[in-house]
Amino acid sequence: MTRTQPGRSGFAITGAGFDPASRSGRFEVAASAAALEAKPYRKQYTLPIEAKVGVNRKRQLNLFNPDGTLIELIEWNTIDGKPTPSSQAPPPR
């Protein structure tokens, strides 16, 4: 994700956890969380900034705009490098 101008939330995501020199598109949630914690606007953002593992076994960071819009930062690979298994739920009717 690249933003050169901070939005109304005051966060600019440019360079947070993303290494463009790697050319692999590798994105690290932990580095993004640390970069966002260091921003001056963090004092005004009252919600926790913490990395979690989603149902698909990928690390993710959930943030919210002031209007309540969800922003998800998600790593490309699963935590163990194995593909996520297919759902065991029945197909929709």
Structural domain containing residue 38: 1-80
3-state helix, strand, coil in the chain (%, to 5): 15, 15, 65
Q: Report if residue 86 sits inside a domain.
A: no
| Six-digit token string for 54 | 């989603």
**CA 1 to CA 18: how far, in whole Å?**
8
CB distance 63 to 71 below 8 Å: yes
pLDDT digit string, tens, across residues 1-52: 444 444 444 444 444 555 544 445 567 888 889 988 999 988 888 898 888 9
Q: Report if residue 89 sits inside a domain.
A: no
Q: Report if residue 64 sits inside a domain.
A: yes
pLDDT digit string, tens, across residues 55-73: 889 999 999 988 889 998 8
Structure pTM? 0.61
Number of structural domains found in the chain: 1
